[in-house]
Amino acid sequence: MLDVRRLRLLRELSRLGTIAAVAETLSYTASAVSQQLSALERDAGVPLLERTGRRVRLTPEALTLVEHTESILAILHEADADLASSAGSLIGTLRIGVFPTAIATLLTPAVVALSQDHPRLRLMVSELDPARGPDALRGDLLDVALLQEYDHVPLAEEAGLESEPLLEETVHLAAPDAGSLAERREASWIAGTPGTLCHTVTVRACEAVGYTPSIRHHADDFGAVLALVAAGQGVALVPDLGLTSVPEQVTLTPLPVRRRTHLSYRRGTRRHPAIAAAREALRSAAATLSR
């Protein structure tokens, strides 16, 4: 019988493309991943991998196996959810991944409610950029993650995951004075670290009005971003949740750009009591913010 853990490694290889990337994502060594995939190939009795230089390519048989793996994992998660539903109270560990600006405003009230309603549930919170959330969920490092998309950076469909809308925010232009996005062509910009959603949306929002922004500073904390704007170091895009403390030297101009937060989890876990409790607590906190 095929080993589910090895199937999962094959699924990740089909998505990431290299054994090194699989090892880094799932906290394995590259040699361990190679050994497990070789064992899976022996069990399957057909070639699964073709080497092309440093990369490996999945054979047609391997791609078929990956398609089955998604369904197998979802069924196993559903079985686990059914068993957990028969317990009298919520126990175990719930791991939640959340982006920084949501911790104080969205996550904290949800965590307080979960702790009060389910005292035997062990909560573990990890701060991470939403771009890393899908990998953390698929790698079984998280159970729930808050993912984001912007009007200019839509959320990609992620194999093996389910998502539901949670919160929508307005994005503001933070600058020394009022003005439109198009008028900031010559401005210095402050954006997130390259590779983050905040960096990507800055570039794409400016490109949508006809120019590429000149990014001088990189900062991932919106408090630091606003401090730099207040010091005359540039302009930036800041969503509602990043406006907990705005210096008086900063002028905010609402833009026709929205940031949307989605609650995401592995396919098949939606009905798990711990996931259901987290969904309810986070939706309640988001509803309070939206009032």
Q: Which CATH architecture has domain 91-163+261-290?
A: 3-Layer(aba) Sandwich (3.40)
Using CA atoms, how far apart are residues 247 and 288, in angstroms rounded to an integer? 25
Least confidently predicted of 45-54, 64-73, 166-175, 242-251: 45-54
pLDDT value at residue 89: 73
pLDDT value at residue 26: 81
pLDDT value at residue 82: 83
Judge if 91-163+261-290 and 169-260 fold alike in CATH terms. Answer: yes
Of 208, 122, 128, 218, nearest in space to 171 by CA: 208
SS3 content of the chain, % helix, strand, coil (to 5): 45, 25, 30
Is a pLDDT exceeding 70 seen at residue 168? yes
pLDDT value at residue 88: 67
pLDDT value at residue 291: 64
Q: Which CATH class is domain 169-260?
A: alpha beta
Q: Does domain 4-84 have CATH number 1.10.10.10?
A: yes
Using CA atoms, how far apart are residues 144 and 105, in angstroms rounded to an integer? 17
Give me the residue spans of the domains in the chain: 4-84, 91-163+261-290, 169-260
What tens digit of pLDDT does each residue of 54-106 get?
678 899 999 999 989 988 888 988 888 888 777 667 888 999 999 988 998 89
Using CA atoms, how far apart are residues 63 and 42, in angstroms rounded to an integer? 16
